[in-house]
Chain A
């Protein structure tokens, strides 16, 4: 079941030594960190794994330095970006021929898109479990109708319509909480 704790509540519990909260924090941000490393910076798997572990190790060690608990998301995002850049620079030192790769990486558009994607995933966590499950399985996990049908005990013929209904609910939820003055997607 998805946690209903806010980011700041989660951080406060982690800081108090709650291991379950730490586990939840890792779960909440793992996709974001992973996507920054492999999509925005196109790190190979081995480098992406090192960055991934280093991000959470530093987050664990330095959580008490966070001035605003609600800012954990941009903090983790920034930490991930910095470590990805360090990793790319290190690889260009080891293999100077890779310098062109470093120049070719322009992650800004992808990073902006991933921020929006995380917002949508957070909203998804607030939808009913049957919606969360089916949308995540179909879109994020790329599962077939048959696999989803088997896992959720649904006739494959009903899956498309359920996905459509759930997307509609998610859209209503997001539109309902949209701040008309917000412009993050216009970056």
Chain B
């Protein structure tokens, strides 16, 4: 970047509007979501009854145990449980 005039500065500030708040929040919550997913998967591996409930009805089992049930969590968990079954 070499020189700036105020018109160019204004244009460059304008070029980066905020991303939608919900997108940012979801990305910021990633570590907490991952930790919860890890916990659920570890429990499913250690507890056959819990695993059976998850496989039978994932969302209901998560709700009953007080876990997050956002579509993203449910989808990712479904994939991880399938991967685990495939191993």
Contact = CB atoms under 8 A, between A and B. Distances in A.
B19 A174 contact: no
Nearest to A31: B16
Interface of B: 1-6, 9-10, 12-20, 23-24, 26-28, 30-32, 34, 72
B2 A182 contact: yes
Q: Which of B3, B30, B72 is packed against the most chain A CB atoms within 10 Å?
A: B30
Given A30-B23, A34-B23, A175-B4, A140 B16 contact: yes
A180 B74 CA distance: 52
B77 to A, nearest CB: 14
Q: From DSSP, what is the main secondary structure of chain B's interface residues? A: helix
B16 A114 contact: yes
Contacts of B13: 117, 120-121, 124, 135-136, 139-140
Interface residues of A, number: 48
Contact of A31 (B3, B17, B31): B17
Interface string A112-140: 01101111110010000000000110011
A171 interface: yes
B78 to A, nearest CB: 16
Interface in A146-185: 164, 167-168, 170-171, 174-175, 178, 180, 182-185
B6 A175 contact: no
Interface in A8-31: 17, 19, 22-23, 26-27, 30-31
A72 interface: no
A56 B27 contact: yes
Contact of A60 (B9, B12, B34): B34
